[in-house]
Chains A and B, each alone.
Chain A
Amino acid sequence: MTTTVDPRPVLEVEGLSLSVPGHDGPVPLLADVGLVVRPGETVGLVGESGSGKSLTIRTALGLTPRRARTAGRVTVDGLDVLSAGRGELRELRRHTAAMVFQDPRASVNGSRTIGAHLVEGLRAGGVDRRQARARAVELLERVGIREPARAMRRHPGEFSGGMLQRVVIAGALSTNPRLLLADEPTTALDVTTQAEVVSLLTSMQAEAGMGMVFVTHDLTLAAAVCDRVVVMYAGRVVEVAAGDELFRSPAHPYTAALLDAHPGLHGPRAALRAVPGRPLALAETPSGCSFRDRCTEADDACAEEVPALRRHGGSDAACLRPGREAWA
Chain B
Amino acid sequence: MTVRAGTTRWVLGRLAGASGTVVVASVVVYAALQLVPGDPLATLTGGKRLTESQLDVLRQTYGLDKGFVAGYLDWAGHVARFDLGTSSVYQDSVNSLLASRLPVSLALIGYAAVVTVVLGLGVAVVSAVAGRRTATLATVLTSGAAATPPFVAVIVLLAVFSVGLGWFPVTGAGSGFLDRVWHLTLPAVAMAIAAFGVLARVGQAAFADQLRREHVEVARSRGVGRAAVLRRHVVRNSLGPVVTVVGLLLASLFVGTAVVETAFGINGIGAFLVSSVSRQDFPVVQAVSLLAVVVFVVISTAVDLLLPVLDPQLRPAVTR
Q: Do chains A and B touch in the complex (CB under 8 A)?
A: yes
Q: Which residues of A contact B (CB under 8 A)?
A: 58, 61, 63, 89-95, 98-99, 101, 103, 106-112, 116, 120-121, 124-125, 155, 157, 168, 171, 175
Interchain CB contact under 8 A, A90 and B223: yes
Interchain CB contact under 8 A, B221 and A103: no
Chain B: minimal CB distance from A55 (Å): 12
Interchain CB contact under 8 A, A61 and B221: yes
**Is B237 in the interface zone, CB < 8 Å from A?**
yes
**Is B313 in the interface zone, CB < 8 Å from A?**
yes
With a cutoff of 8 Å between Cβ atoms, the chain A residues found around residue B320 in the complex are 157
Q: Within residues 147 to 177 of chain B, which ones have a CB less than 8 A from any CB in chain A? A: none
Interchain CB contact under 8 A, B312 and A111: yes
Interchain CB contact under 8 A, A112 and B236: yes
A126 (CB) vs chain B CBs: closest residue: B223
Interchain CB contact under 8 A, B214 and A124: no
Known: A155-B313, A157-B312. 10 other contacts (CB 8 A): A63-B217, A63-B221, A90-B225, A98-B222, A106-B215, A107-B215, A109-B219, A111-B312, A120-B224, A124-B228
Q: Is the contact region of chain B dominated by helix, strand, or loop, or is it mixed?
A: helix
Q: Tell me which of A92, A94, A106, A168 contacts B213 (CB under 8 A).
A: A106
Q: Is the contact region of chain A dominated by helix, strand, or loop, or is it mixed?
A: helix
Chain B: minimal CB distance from A81 (Å): 13
**Is B220 in the interface zone, CB < 8 Å from A?**
yes
- The docked-state distance in angstroms from the alpha carbon of A107 to that of B228 is 16
Chain A: minimal CB distance from B207 (Å): 14
Select the residue from B215, B228, B313 with max chain A CB neighbours within 10 A.
B215
With a cutoff of 8 Å between Cβ atoms, the chain A residues found around residue B236 in the complex are 109, 111-112
* Contacts A111-B313, A157-B313; A99 near B215 (Cβ below 8 A): no
With a cutoff of 8 Å between Cβ atoms, the chain A residues found around residue B232 in the complex are 109, 112, 116, 120
With a cutoff of 8 Å between Cβ atoms, the chain B residues found around residue A116 in the complex are 232
**Is B233 in the interface zone, CB < 8 Å from A?**
yes
Interchain CB contact under 8 A, A94 and B223: yes
* Contacts A110-B312, A111-B311, A112-B232; A93 near B220 (Cβ below 8 A): yes
- The docked-state distance in angstroms from the alpha carbon of A99 to that of B310 is 29
Please, could you name 15 A-B residue pairs with CB atoms under 8 Å apart, sorted by A? A63-B217, A63-B220, A91-B223, A93-B220, A93-B222, A94-B223, A107-B214, A110-B312, A111-B236, A112-B236, A120-B232, A125-B223, A157-B320, A168-B218, A171-B222
With a cutoff of 8 Å between Cβ atoms, the chain B residues found around residue A111 in the complex are 236-237, 239, 311-313
Interchain CB contact under 8 A, B214 and A103: yes
